[in-house]
């Protein structure tokens, strides 16, 4: 199998912009998962790109990532998508964040033991950022805490809970599951997570996240081009 740059995203609206940008073509369709492939010329010559449109939530994200890792030789695994802002005024719509700490905010186990670390403890990523990495472009923010859970956060009380309980900066529904799967396959060091702020995880989030999706994703795709 050829080495592949792999992208996992949850929503069709997110995927469509990436598909258009890189000229990808649909190559396989499962029940709720679609695969798109193409090539591009990178620093080391022509390289394969595969995008998996996995669907929303942790289960779909884990299935999509497993399919990727079972069927492709993945050189880099990138999760890209929109997220809710939990910081108040520290982040704004359109900002792009590369979080380095990931928590599963809806997992509760009243038991202790190292055998439960995979579910209870945060996952950490390290990013190697070159000198030419423009952190100011598109409001790019490096590091931060991403809270993953099977819920769309759309009220201020819940937003404040996640901020207070986990010190989370953003919330979304897939990253922790994707990274957990990657860890099982021993490729956590090949993972990058790119999230763009689409809403404030408040009472206006339902409408805001769709109204701002294209703007936020265009900013994150600019970063995607750089890290591929």
Q: What is the CATH number of the domain that holds 165?
A: 3.40.50.1580
Domain interval for residue 152: 3-227
Interval 106-132 mean pLDDT: 77
In the prediction, which pLDDT does 2 show?
60
d(C-alpha 194, C-alpha 168), whole Å: 15
In the structure encoding, which two tokens stand for residue 75, read together?
């050189």
Residue of 112 and 170 predicted with greater confidence: 170
- What are the structure tokens assigned to 4, written together? 């592949």
Can you list the positions of beta strands (E) in 24-63? 25-29, 34-42, 45-53
pLDDT in tens, 120-167: 789 999 875 555 556 666 568 889 999 999 999 999 999 999 999 999
pLDDT tens string 172-199 = 999 999 999 999 999 999 999 999 999 9
Say what the pLDDT of residue 133 is. Answer: 59
> Average of pLDDT values for 80-95?
95
Q: Which residue has the higher pLDDT, 41 or 60?
A: 60
Q: Kindly report, residue by residue over 30-54, the tens digit of the pLDDT.
A: 999 999 999 988 777 788 999 999 9
Structure tokens at 107: 């997992």
Paired strand residues for 26: 36
Name the domain count of the chain.
Answer: 1
| Contact of 105 with 160, CB cutoff 8 Å | no
From the number of C-beta atoms within 10 Å of its C-beta (0-12, 13-18, 19+), residue 101 rates as middle
Find the mean pLDDT for residues 62-70. Answer: 97
Cα distance between residue 206 and residue 199, in whole Å: 8
User: Does the pLDDT at position 4 exceed 70?
Assistant: yes
Q: How many CA atoms lie within 13 Å of 207's alpha carbon, on the beta-carbon side?
A: 2
- pLDDT-above-70 percentage for the chain: 93
Report helix, strand and coil shares of the chain as percent, to nearest 5.
35, 30, 35
Q: What pLDDT is recorded for position 45? A: 75
Mean pLDDT score, 9-37: 97
What is the distance of C-alpha 123 from the center of its chain? 13
Q: How many CA atoms lie less than 13 Å away from 210 in the CB half-sphere? A: 6
pLDDT band of residue 108 (cuts 50, 70, 90) is confident
Please choose, from the candidates 72, 69, 52, 51, the residue with its C-alpha nearest in 3D space to the C-alpha of residue 1: 72
């Amino acid at each position: 199998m050829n080495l592949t740059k792999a992208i996992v995203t949850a929503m069709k609206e997110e995927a469509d912009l990436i598909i258009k940008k890189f000229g990808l073509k649909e190559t396989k369709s499962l029940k709720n998962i679609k695969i798109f492939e193409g090539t591009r010329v990178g620093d080391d010559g022509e390289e394969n790109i595969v995008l998996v449109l996995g669907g929303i939530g942790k289960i779909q994200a884990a299935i999509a990532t497993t399919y990727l890792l079972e069927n492709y030789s993945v050189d880099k695994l990138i999760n890209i998508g929109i997220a809710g802002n939990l910081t108040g005024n520290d982040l704004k719509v359109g900002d792009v964040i590369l979080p380095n700490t990931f928590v599963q905010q809806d997992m509760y186990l009243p038991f202790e033991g190292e055998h439960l670390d995979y579910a209870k403890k945060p996952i950490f990523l390290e990013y190697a950022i070159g000198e030419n990495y423009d952190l100011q472009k598109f409001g790019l923010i490096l590091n931060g805490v991403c809270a993953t859970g099977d819920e769309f956060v759309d009220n201020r009380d819940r937003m404040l809970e996640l901020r207070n309980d986990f010190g989370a900066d953003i919330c979304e529904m897939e990253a922790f599951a994707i990274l957990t799967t990657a860890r099982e396959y021993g490729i956590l060091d090949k993972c990058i997570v790119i999230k763009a702020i689409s809403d404030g995880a408040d009472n206006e989030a339902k409408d805001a996240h769709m109204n701002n999706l294209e703007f936020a994703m265009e900013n994150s795709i600019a970063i995607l081009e750089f890290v591929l």
